[in-house]
Amino acid sequence: MSAEGALLFARYAYPPNELGYCGPDDAAALLRPGAVAGMEQRARQFEGAWCYLEFLAEAAGIPDPLDVRVVEAYWIGNELLDLADSGALVARLLDRFRGQTGGTWREAAHRAVAHHSFQVFDVYPWAVLLRGTGNPTALSVLDQCRIRTGVVVGVDGESATVESCPLSWDGEALVPAPPRRESVRWSTGGRSLIAGVSPGDRVALHWDWVCDVLTDEQAARIESIEGRRHSEINSLTG
C-alpha cells in the first residue's frame, strides 16, 4: 500500500466520514498518528469511493487501489481517467449499487467518468431533485459534497476564510454563483492531514474542510471536470 496515496485518500475522505455520511465509525482515527498503517482496511469501508479506486487501478494496470495516482484521479483528476472505459464503469456500478434508486448513472454508459464528481452529480439523486423549481436541500448537498476549489484569504487558528464560487440553480441549470467567503477548518484539536494553510493558497474543499493545498494544474482539473458534469446534468434536468 502506498503511504502517500493512503494519506491523500484520508485528506478527502475525512470530512464526510466525520459527518457520518460514509465510511466506518470513529472518523477521528484518520487523524491519529500512524493512521496510514491501517488505511486500506478503513478505505475499503468507504464503499462508494473504493469501487472507483479498484476500477481505476484495474484499468491502469496498477495493483494498489491506494496508489497515489489512483487516489488523485478519483478526487482531483489526472490522466488515469482516460484509461477507464465509461461503459465498463457503469457495468461495475450496476453491480455495486444494485437496487439503489435515483440518479442518472444507469443511462450514462457514454459519459461516465471514474471521478468523485460523477458519484455526486450522477449516482446520488440530488441533481435530479433540482428539476422544476429546484430543491434548496439538494443544491446545498451538491455544493458541499463535491470537491470545490477556493483561495485562502485569512487564517485564524484551526479555521480559515476561503473565497470560492458556490453552486446556484437558475431554474433550468446549475451555474456557478459569484464568489463568496466561507469559514472552513483545516485542523481540529491540533490534528490535521496537511501542514497548514496561508493566505493566497489554492485549496480543495470538501464539506467544511480544507483537504489539500492545490497546484494551479490540479485546481484547473477539478474545475474542468466539474464543468463537464454540470453541462451533462443540465442537459438531462432542463
Please give the C-alpha separations between residue 226 and each of 2, 72, 120, 155, in angstroms, as whole numbers.
27, 15, 10, 27
Q: How confident is the model at residue 133 (pLDDT cuts 50, 70, 90)?
A: low
Average pLDDT of the segment spanning 104-114: 89
Q: What is the DSSP string of 187-232?
A: -BTTB-SSS---TT-EEEEETTEEEEEPPHHHHHHHHHHHHHHHHH
What are the tens digits of pLDDT across the range 162-197? Answer: 999 999 988 878 888 899 999 999 999 999 999 999
Residue 15 pLDDT greater than 90, yes or no: yes
Where along the chain do its domains lie? 3-99
Residue 230 pLDDT greater than 70, yes or no: yes
